[in-house]
Structures are given as C-alpha cells and as structure tokens.
Amino acid sequence: MPPRIHHEDARMSEQSRFKLNSLLMIVAIVAIFIAIVLPLINRLREPGGRVPCASNMRQIGQALLLYSMDHGGRYPQQLEELLKDITEELLVCAETGEPSIFVRPGAIAADLTANDVVVYEPLSAHEGEGSMVLFGDGHVKWVRADGLERMLARPASPAATRSAVAE
Ligand SMILES: [Zn+2]
C-alpha cells in the first residue's frame, strides 16, 4: 500500500509540473501577443485621445461665427476677443495647454472655404505628429504635420486674400 501511494504522489507531481510548464508557456505567449498588439491598438486609438482638442476647436469655430455675426461678418483680430463667450481653456491644446494659432484675423467669415485654415494647434502640442485644425467652413479635422505644412504654405484662396485686402 505505501509504495503505491508514493508512486501516485510522484505521478501527481509530474502531472502538476507539466501543467505548470504549459501554464508558463501560455503566459509567455499571451505576454508576447500583448507586447506586439498593444502598440498597434494605441496607434489606432490615438485620434480618439484628441477628442477634447477637436471639441475645443469646434467651440472656437462657433464663437468665431457668433462674433462675426455681431461684427459685420468679420472675425476678431485675435482669439482673446472671444473670451466673453468661451473660456480660456478652449483656446489651448487640451493635452499640453499650448495656445492655438489664429491665422485669419479680421477675415470676412463668409469668404472662407473648407480649404482655408483658420485656427490650428502648434505642432509642438502633439509632439510634431500633427494638429487639430479649424477650417473656414467650421469643420474640424486632425491634420498630420506634413499635411498642415502644405496647407499653411498654400496661397490663401482668392476670397481669403480679398478679405485681407479689404481690411
Ligand atoms: Zn491638442
């Protein structure tokens, strides 16, 4: 009797060692899988992390529109003039607090198109990756750094130039 118990004990421990080995292997595989997949998921999720920045821009757009309706269709000379309608936190990047850049001071709102950049975040606010941008028709879009540089280098639309001249 005792030898049999001993034998069974030995078999049990061999079995549990085998189970432990498989468990460790599964843990290792899962860990490797997470290490590979997590950065991918994070990269996909990044634009979602910028939702507050998009919301800030949209509210700047609405405040600019309201301001222009009260001022003969013209935008203010600087965004700070909007502070009676919106809070100061909306004028900066929601992630880093860097002030957004207004490139259409005094423009006639109706002359601006969906192609005209109105307000953008400095590229430093998102580690040079890109910027949340407000366009002339009020839409807001995340633009990658190279795209933004092209947009800013592009000559203003004829209507936007007319606005500047009319000033
Ligand atoms: Zn931002």
Q: What is the pLDDT of residues 67-119, one digit of tens each?
A: 999 999 999 999 999 998 899 999 999 999 999 999 999 999 999 999 999 99
Residue owning tokens 């100061």: 88
Between the CA of 99 and the centroid of ligand 1 the distance, in Å, is 9
Between the CA of 125 and the centroid of ligand 1 the distance, in Å, is 6
Own/partner pairs, 43-52, CB within 8 angstroms, 24+ separation:
47/142, 49/95, 50/94, 50/95, 50/126, 50/132, 50/142, 52/94, 52/95
Between the CA of 108 and the centroid of ligand 1 the distance, in Å, is 26
What's the total number of domains in the chain? 2
Residue 45 has φ and ψ, to the nearest 5°, of: -80, -15
Percent with pLDDT over 70 in the chain: 80
Between the CA of 157 and the centroid of ligand 1 the distance, in Å, is 26
For residue 167, name the pLDDT band (cuts at 50, 70, 90).
Answer: very low
Structural domain boundaries, residue 41: 1-49
Q: Is 131 in a helix, a strand, or coil?
A: strand
**67 and 132 belong to one structural domain:** yes
Between the CA of 37 and the centroid of ligand 1 the distance, in Å, is 25
Between the CA of 50 and the centroid of ligand 1 the distance, in Å, is 6
**69 and 34 belong to one structural domain:** no
Question: Shortest CA distance to 91 belongs to which of 65, 63, 70, 126?
Answer: 63
**106 and 42 belong to one structural domain:** no
Q: What is the DSSP letter of 83?
A: G
Neighbour-count burial for 67-88, b at 16+ CB within 10 Å, e otherwise: bbeeeeebbbeebebbeeebee
Question: Shortest CA distance to 93 belongs to which of 82, 101, 81, 105?
Answer: 101
Between the CA of 56 and the centroid of ligand 1 the distance, in Å, is 9
Instruction: Look at residue 115 in the predicted model and tell me its pLDDT.
Output: 93
Between the CA of 144 and the centroid of ligand 1 the distance, in Å, is 12
Between the CA of 154 and the centroid of ligand 1 the distance, in Å, is 23
**8 and 68 belong to one structural domain:** no
**19 and 82 belong to one structural domain:** no
